[in-house]
Amino acid sequence: MQTKASVLVVVAMVAVVVSQFVIAVPCYEDSPLVAEGHDVYTIQDVPPMTSEEYDAIKSILERSTGNWSGEMSEDECLGSKNNPRVKSKRFSVSGESHFDGEKFELKLNYASQNNSDVRKTITFILKPDQFQRGTAGPKDLAQVMSTSKNAFTFYARIIYEGRGTMVREFADVVHLKGDQLVLQTHLYVGGVYSTLTKIVLTH
C-alpha cells in the first residue's frame, strides 16, 4: 500500500482506516484543519496525484461498476458539545454505478423514514493528476491519502457559498473486496465532527 501524510489530514486518517471496521470519532471533535491550527475557510494547496495512485484508483473504479444492493447507515451528532447524542438511521438501498474513465457515479435509491423515495448520488472525478469528490470545482480537489489494490482513502474539503458560507470536510474510504463495495465517510461541518455514513453493497 502506498501512503502519504499531511499536517492537514493526518488526524482524519487516524479516524478512518481501510477496512470495514468503524473507528468512532467523538461528536463535535475538531476537524483535521482546525486541530492543526488552520482556518477551514482558507484554500489549501492539494499536491498532485502520482501515476501509481491514479492507476490504483482507476482500477478500483473500473471494477466497481454494475448493479448493487445493500444497506446504508447514518450516525449523526445532535445536541451540544457538552451534551451530545447520536441519532442513528438504517436504510436498505439499491442502485447502479457507471465509470467512463473520468467520471464515476453511484446512484442509490431508498425509502426515507416517512416512506418517501430518496435518491442519493455519489460522484468522483478522476484525472491523471487530480481527484475530486463531487463536481463543485477545482478549488474543491481532494487529497488522496492511500491506495492499495482494492482500497483508497482521501480527504476532501468543499466550500459551499450562497446566503452564507459553509465548509464541509470529508474523510473517506472506498473499499472493494470481491463482490462487496464499502464506502465510509466521516463528515465535519463548520470545523467539527458531524456524521458517519457507511454504505455496504453487494452485486
Q: Does residue 157 carry a pLDDT above 90?
A: no
CB 170 within 8 A of CB 186: yes
Q: For residue 202, what pLDDT band results from cuts at 50, 70 and 90?
A: very high
Question: For the ranges 39-43, 63-67, 173-177, which has the lowest average pLDDT?
Answer: 39-43
Asked if residue 47 has pLDDT above 60, the reply is yes
pLDDT at residue 75 tops 50: yes
Q: Where are the alpha helices (DSSP H) in the chain?
A: 10-15, 32-35, 51-62
Residue 76 pLDDT:
95
pLDDT(192) > 80: yes
Grid cell locating 91:
436504510
Could you tell me the residue ranges of all domains in the chain? 2-202
CATH number of 2-202: 2.40.128.20
C-alpha cell at 133: 469528490
pLDDT-based confidence at residue 138 (cuts at 50, 70, 90): low
Q: What's the predicted TM-score (pTM) here?
A: 0.86
| Residue 1: strand, helix, or coil | coil
